[in-house]
A = this chain, B = another copy of it.
Amino acid sequence: MPMAASGKSAEARGQRPPGEPARVFHGGDLAAARALFPGAPEPWLDLSTGINPHAYPVGAIAPSAFSRLPAAADVAALEQGAAAAYGAARPAAVVSAPGTQALIQLLPRLIPARQVAVLGFSYQEHAACWRAAGATVRVVDHIGDLTAADINVAVIVNPNNPDGRVVPVADLLAVAAQLAARERTLIVDEAFMDVVRPSASLVPHLPDAGAIVLRSFGKAYGLAGLRLGFAVAAPAQSGRLRAMMGPWAVSGPAIAIGARALADDAWLEATRLRLDAAARCLDGVLREAGLELVGGTSLYRLAASREAAGWFQRLGRAGILVRPFPDRPHWLRFGLPGSPDAWARLCHAFGVTPRAPAPVA
């Protein structure tokens, strides 16, 4: 895949600062895309991430959100709002963080595990962070392999990124119970749960399930730049995560916008319908172009093709960035176009019938 080659060559050219471990390849890197396709038309259409293109309206932000240190009472209100939105009930405790990634970085300190199993193929930061902390990580194909005798920590991304696989709650509870019986821990990353299948969340079963659940704010609400995410866990674990981050971990704008958005049930319900329609429309485009649908969620679709590398090139030359997978060369992941123009560009680049989801009233 070209983007993978580009990522590797940056490291090979010594642009990575010394002492810094290799990074995981992510979507959203338009600078790399521009370097790879210097003649592509601007602006780029970035379909390489799974972020809602219809962002929650930021609206007016009080100047004090920028100027004052975030107040403990405002953080508590945000976390109560998140608990209500996600269905967390006491004694399960919600802790806010500057993005889910910040929590993924901390989990190996929360749980000093030597043997970690990740249900794959999945988001690679989990394996990377545990490995960076010195753990041995097995990426396993079957949920039964998560409870092998030597495993200290098991990780499931649910729904999975990139293929959208959803592990039923009953299966999650069974895995969590097996692990908890041996004082092991299940971590469930529900980054894409909000708009996808809220009933599949493990959060309402905490802390009894003995698991730790991560929730992302930025993906469903289209505000990835705000940096806001949450962990839901037993109070002792949430408290230790909070202590590791220290005071004022989340910014004032994130607290203000997050609290408002998480209380807006009507927006979320309308967004679910809107994204479902867009995902179905995108499936039609991909199928007409001859790609095979592998899976996905309503925030991204995963398609397979023997011509994946060629499509990546052709779309790139048209200024459309999609997500390749160096370890799955036949796969491409597509985020949702967010405007009639974006739909037109994608359909044109694929050479398929122009289409777009019905506009929102």
Interface residues of A (CB under 8 A from B): 16-21, 23-24, 26, 28-31, 46, 49, 51, 55, 58, 63-73, 93, 98-99, 101-102, 104-105, 109, 125, 129, 132, 218, 222-227, 235-240, 242-254, 257
Contacts and interface: CB of A to CB of B under 8 A. Distances in A.
B21 A98 contact: no
Contacts of A218: 69
A225 to B, nearest CB: 3
A72 B46 CA distance: 15
Contact of A70 (B17, B109, B225, B237): B225
B29 A72 contact: yes
A247 B22 CA distance: 12
Contacts of A102: 98, 245-246, 249
A17 B99 contact: no
Contact of A66 (B63, B98, B223, B236): B223
Contacts of A67: 51, 55, 222-225
A66 B54 CA distance: 12
A249 B16 CA distance: 17
B18 A132 contact: no
B20 A243 contact: yes
A212 to B, nearest CB: 13
8 contacts: A16-B239, A17-B236, A18-B235, A19-B240, A29-B72, A55-B67, A69-B225, A101-B248
A125 B20 contact: no
Given A19-B236, A30-B71, 20 more contacts: A17-B236, A18-B236, A18-B239, A19-B240, A20-B239, A55-B66, A55-B67, A66-B225, A67-B222, A98-B98, A98-B227, A98-B251, A105-B244, A109-B109, A125-B247, A226-B253, A227-B249, A251-B251, A251-B253, A253-B253
A82 B253 CA distance: 22
Given A71-B31, A73-B31, A246-B102, A240 B20 contact: yes
Contacts of A98: 98, 102, 227, 249, 251
Nearest to A223: B66
Contacts of A250: 227
A242 to B, nearest CB: 6
Residue of A21, A242, A248 with highest tally of chain B CB at under 10 A: A248
B225 A26 contact: no
Nearest to A53: B67
Nearest to A20: B239
Given A19-B237, A71-B29, A248-B99, A64 B225 contact: yes
